[in-house]
Structure 1
Amino acid sequence: MLIVGIYVAWNLTLGLALWLLPVADQILAWALGRGDFNWFHNGLHGFETRLSRVGQGADPWSLILLMLTFLGFWFGTALTLRLFHNRRLSGLFGRAPVVLRDFTLGVAMMAMIGGGIALFLSQTPLLPQLQLATDPALWLLFLPLALLGILIQTGAEELVFRGYIQGQLAARFASPLVYLSLPTILFGLAHYNPAEMGTNTWLVVATTGLFGLAASDLTARSGSLGLAWGLHFANNVLAILLVSVMGGLDGLALLQLAETGASADLLKPLLISDMLLMVSVWAACRLWLRRR
Structure 2
Amino acid sequence: MLQPLIFDRYVAPARLRPQLWRLFLGMMVLMAVYLGWIALMGVGFMGIHGLRNLDAGLEGAGLGGTPASLVGVLFTFVGMALGAFAAVRFIHHRSVASLFGPRALVWRDFLAGLLIFLAMSVPGVVYVLVFVELGSGVAWTVWLAWLPVALLGLLIQTGAEELVFRGYLQQQLAARFLSRWVWMVVPSVLFGLVHYAPDEMGGAVWMVVFVTGFFGLLLADLTARSGSIGMAWGLHFANNLLAMFLFTTGEALDGLALYRLPFGPKDTEVMTFMLGLDVAGMVLVWAGCRWWLRAR
TM-score range, shorter chain: 0.7 to 0.9
SS in 1 for 2:184: helix
SS in 2 for 1:67: helix
Please give the alpha-carbon distance, in whole angstroms, between the structure 2 residues aligned to 1:200 and 1:13: 33
Whether 1:51 aligns to 2:33 is no
Residue number in structure 2 paired with 1:74: 81
Q: How does 1:1-292 map to 2 (within 5 A)?
A: 1-22=28-49, 43-120=50-127, 128-258=132-262, 263-292=267-296
Alignment identity in percent?
Answer: 45
- The change in CA–CA distance for 1:261 and 1:271 in structure 2 (over 3 A counts) is closer
CA drift of 1:82 comes to 1.1
Please give the alpha-carbon distance, in whole angstroms, between the structure 2 residues aligned to 1:133 and 1:205: 26
Please give the alpha-carbon distance, in whole angstroms, between the structure 1 residues aligned to 2:171 and 2:81: 16
Does the 8 Å contact 1:245/1:267 carry over to 2? no
Amino acid at match of 1:180: M
Please give the alpha-carbon distance, in whole angstroms, between the structure 1 residues aligned to 2:134 and 2:190: 33
User: How large is the RMSD of aligned CA atoms in angstroms?
Assistant: 1.5
Please give the alpha-carbon distance, in whole angstroms, between the structure 1 residues aligned to 2:186 and 2:155: 24
Please give the alpha-carbon distance, in whole angstroms, between the structure 1 residues aligned to 2:53 and 2:91: 41
CA drift of 1:171 comes to 1.1
Please give the alpha-carbon distance, in whole angstroms, between the structure 2 residues aligned to 1:246 and 1:166: 33
Amino acid at match of 1:48: D
The normalised TM-score by structure 2 is 0.87
The normalised TM-score by structure 1 is 0.88
Greater Cα shift, 78-87 or 141-150: 78-87
Please give the alpha-carbon distance, in whole angstroms, between the structure 2 residues aligned to 1:4 and 1:269: 35
Does the 8 Å contact 2:250/2:260 carry over to 1? no
Task: Summarize deviations over 1:158-215 as a string: whole Å, max 9, x none.
Answer: 0000100001011111121211010011001111111211111111011101110000
Please give the alpha-carbon distance, in whole angstroms, between the structure 1 residues aligned to 2:250 and 2:187: 24
CA drift of 1:120 comes to 4.7
- The change in CA–CA distance for 1:46 and 1:71 in structure 2 (over 3 A counts) is same
Amino acid at match of 1:203: M
CA drift of 1:44 comes to 2.2
Amino acid at match of 1:86: H
Please give the alpha-carbon distance, in whole angstroms, between the structure 1 residues aligned to 2:72 and 2:248: 18
CA drift of 1:97 comes to 1.3
Please give the alpha-carbon distance, in whole angstroms, between the structure 1 residues aligned to 2:128 and 2:148: 29
Please give the alpha-carbon distance, in whole angstroms, between the structure 2 residues aligned to 1:86 and 1:261: 46
Does the 8 Å contact 2:169/2:187 carry over to 1? yes
* Largest Rg, 1 or 2: 1
Q: 5+ unaligned residues in a row in structure 1: which ranges?
A: 23-42
Does the 8 Å contact 1:92/1:159 carry over to 2? yes
Please give the alpha-carbon distance, in whole angstroms, between the structure 1 residues aligned to 2:171 and 2:110: 18
Amino acid at match of 2:122: G
